Amino acid sequence: MPSGVRRLMPGTLDEWLPPSILAAGFLARLYLAHLTFLNPDECLHYLLAVQLSLVDVYKATLTTAHPPLLIFLLYYWRGLGHSELVLRLPSVLAGTASCWFAFKWLENLAGRRTGTIGLFLLAFSPSLIDVSAEVRQYALLLFFIAAALFLFDRAMARNSPRGMMLFSLALYGALLSHYSSLVFALSIGLYAVVRFFREERQVRVLAVWLAGQAAALALCGWLFISHVARIRSLGMPQEIADTWLRKSIFHAGEDSLLPFVLRETIRLFRYLFGNGFVGALGLCLGLAGVVWLVRNRRALPQHSRQLAWLLTLPFLITATVSVAGFYPYGGTRHDVFLSLFAMAAVAVGMAAWTPPRRWVTPLLLTVAVGIANWSPSPGGPYIRPRDQAQTQMQQALLFVRPQPGRDSVIFTDYQSGLLLSYYLCGRSIVQFEGPFQPFQDATCGQTRIVVWQSPDWMFHAEEFPRILRDAEPAFALSGKRVMLFQAGWTVNAEPDFRQLLQHYGCPAPANFGNNILACEITVSSAAGDTTRN
């Protein structure tokens, strides 16, 4: 048997090692879900689900850039509680289950050794641990894609119409979770055509697959008419592409095609592995794995040879739609679905390597994953766990809450308003749908909160004087003590704003980690001016 498909180790170790890896990956996700406070995006998803009826929930989902499945799930799940851990449990379970489905898929196609290596990489990837410990769509997406890969391969191996029906259901789940699943649907569709063309299968299996594909096309059509067309008319995709996802979209005249694809592929692997050096090593091993599959096609079973196509198609399609300007490609969570194919390719490359000592491969895996988790630098918006610890948020809330018998005013930006909605008010105090007002104010107990509702989500130094001038007469802030509060993404990357606060009577903001700051100012009658308290 070729080295890339042989078993990992004989005896009992071969049996208990994968479940042990899975259990450790689950505990890592559970710990992170328990440790950290909700980020602004998580608060947004939870607040969308806090509606009076399922119809209202569906209407709320139309204001986002994602399909509705997660918000529907949260609508029912919140009945179990609304603590951070409870809200994140579906993602923790789905992210863990995706690792197991991917393991079984790889094991069936390329052997237990390859499957176990892939399981280890997926279970301990820092970025996959992160997305599996968040109230977001990505863990559900990974679960349905991994399940679809496994179910399709098993249905083909067993000539099972029922298995092909289950594959279609998993595909629908992916399509209803995140729009990046369209790339997967196209990839697995082309892969299936090749499999059906080269392998003899029962007519019933083909018929069920064709019926499932027709239903998937109908589902895509409904999503486009009811949702995608709507958000495109509002300019949401273009707004995102022109701001924080700009680097991941090809811009003709600014970017060169091949350097763009190469740069973003490197950024993608850095994101998936959580570290630049480990990501570059993973990219090299992944390329080696695909080359090994192509060069050794005569030594492998037919369905294993075709694995090279399935591992490369999603990358080619995503890069193509990015060049066309339709979807980001690079070091961003929007491409996290590619992790299943990236880690599979890396696993094939590592399994094909035969070191002189059996322990060398496990040692290298452990060291690489240890480096990635010990010093993560995934790129893009990222809050380190120590800066996102729940204790940081608890201390910040104690700082901004008024003393008994006193009223107070909190002045904050949009992403911080989402956090205060969940942590301070227990209800939404921001707008989800336009036309957006420049400011939104709400009263939570003895606290009045004024939220600046910018599409940029946060205060910046160059805009803050104008914002304060506009808010002062609108909310009668002149002469009042105002608590400035900012928390969430890239707060730690705004040194100019922190420096500006010195000129507004706040020489030393209270910092709760690197991603929460608060300071008290007194707004003077001269619009935009402040004096030291």
453-507 pLDDT per residue, tens: 887 788 888 888 888 888 888 887 777 778 999 999 888 777 888 888 887 778 8
293 Rama sector, left if φ>0, alpha if ψ -120 to 50, beta otherwise:
alpha
The residues, ordered by sequence, that sit 6+ positions from 289 with a Cβ below 8 Å of its Cβ are 311, 344, 345, 346, 347, 348, 349, 350, 352
Report the range of poorest mean pLDDT among 16-20, 356-360, 367-371. Answer: 356-360
Q: In the 8-state DSSP scheme, what is residue 504?
A: G
How high is the pLDDT of residue 298? Answer: 63
Residue with token string 């450790």: 24
d(CA 157, CA 302): 12
For residues 347 and 299, the answer to whether their CB atoms sit within 8 Å is: no
d(CA 357, CA 379): 35
d(CA 16, CA 19): 6
The answer to whether the peptide bond before residue 435 is cis (omega within 30 degrees of 0) is yes
Q: Please, what is the angle between helix 13-35 and helix 112-124, to 10°?
A: 10
Asked if pLDDT for residue 1 goes beyond 70, the answer is no
Look up the pTM and report it.
Answer: 0.91
Asked if pLDDT for residue 154 goes beyond 80, the answer is yes
Report the range of poorest mean pLDDT among 75-79, 500-504, 522-526. Answer: 522-526
Percent of residues in the chain assigned helix, strand, coil, to nearest 5: 65, 10, 30
Asked if pLDDT for residue 2 goes beyond 70, the answer is no
Q: Kind and range of the H or E element at 6?
A: none
d(CA 415, CA 394): 17
